[in-house]
Homo-oligomer: A and B are copies of this chain.
Amino acid sequence: MLSKSVKKSYSNKPLILVTNDDGISSTGIRSLVESMRELGKVVVVAPDSPRSGMGHAITLDSPLRIELVHLFEDVDSYQCNGTPVDCVKLAVNKILKRKPDLCVSGINHGSNSSINILYSGTMSAAMEASIEGINAIGFSYLNCSFNADLTAPKKYAKRIAKSVLEHGLPPNTLLNVNIPDVHYKQIKGIRVCRQAIAKYEEDYNERLDPRGRKYYWLTGKFINNDPGDDTDEWALKNCFVSVVPVQFDLTAHHAISSINSFWK
């Protein structure tokens, strides 16, 4: 599975796994590959089509396929019919000869700040890499268009990835990076922050199909009632790049004693 060019250069440069959830043909992943090749040896393993909103889904009931494709100059790239998390698992277990030094996911077309992290395939792919003990970062740009100018997210992706390669991340921790939709020069800097406690107010668009049967499309409005100036939402609104350190221990440690009292 591993091509000669990958094998050859494994020893002397950082090995960087690139993935995403918008699919291997998106402009976001292309920009991320361009940024990362300036930092190390890049291998791409990404979904063969868009897989937005897949969260941490894995494929249990159908066969997974990997195809070597030739989408990026001098970069080995593979497309997979699975979810973003499947891509990371397959990359680590079947494609790469050694554990990568870094896994980057994105650049997502649209925000993954606040509660969006739970639904995001981009962030779940990064989280899966972190579970595997790999330094991992998810990058998202607050502009959903495939034709957006990706100058700012590219530059910040490179800068932040470089820092992580230099310093490493604390154990069981990954980064959720969001870049505001403003010109590069308007960005005020990087802000390390917490996830805003916000949510969607859903609305389902109700329609009738040509056979008269009802169906629904999910729509919704993002509502942030978290007033903190230490949140990712605050940072983005104020033209900072938001960096949230993220963990996959979901225990609400502070709640253990009060819940213990239920059965005492």
A interface, CB within 8 angstroms of B: 50, 52-61, 63-66, 83, 85-86, 89-90, 92-94, 115, 117-119, 124, 127, 131-132, 163-164, 167, 169-170, 172-173, 175-176, 189-190, 192-195, 197, 199, 202-204, 206-207, 209, 213-218, 243-256, 258-260, 262-263
Q: B249 contacts A194, CB within 8 Å?
A: yes
Copies in the complex: 2
Given A60-B52, A170-B258, A260-B192, also A202-B89 (CB < 8 A): yes
Considering only CB atoms, which chain B residue lies closest to A215 in the complex?
B63
Q: B57 contacts A248, CB within 8 Å?
A: no
- Sample of 10 A–B contacts (CB below 8 Å): A53-B60, A63-B217, A64-B216, A94-B206, A163-B262, A170-B254, A173-B252, A190-B263, A244-B250, A247-B251
Q: B249 contacts A195, CB within 8 Å?
A: yes
Most chain B CB within 10 A, of A50, A203, A244, A251, is at A251
Residues of B close to A93: CB separation below 8 A: 202-204
Q: A251 contacts B246, CB within 8 Å?
A: yes
Residues of B close to A176: CB separation below 8 A: 250
Rounded to whole angstroms, the CA-CA distance of A68 and B167 in the bound complex is 55
**How near does chain B come to A232, taking the closest CB pair, in angstroms?**
9
Besides the known contacts A93-B203, A131-B199, 20 further A-B residue pairs in the complex with CB atoms under 8 A apart:
A52-B60, A53-B58, A63-B215, A64-B215, A85-B119, A89-B202, A89-B204, A90-B204, A93-B204, A115-B248, A117-B250, A118-B131, A163-B262, A163-B263, A167-B262, A192-B260, A193-B256, A195-B250, A248-B250, A250-B250
Residues of B close to A247: CB separation below 8 A: 250-252, 255
Q: A89 contacts B218, CB within 8 Å?
A: yes
Rounded to whole angstroms, the CA-CA distance of A117 and B247 in the bound complex is 13
Q: B118 contacts A218, CB within 8 Å?
A: no
Residues of B close to A167: CB separation below 8 A: 262
Rounded to whole angstroms, the CA-CA distance of A173 and B252 in the bound complex is 7
Q: B192 contacts A256, CB within 8 Å?
A: yes
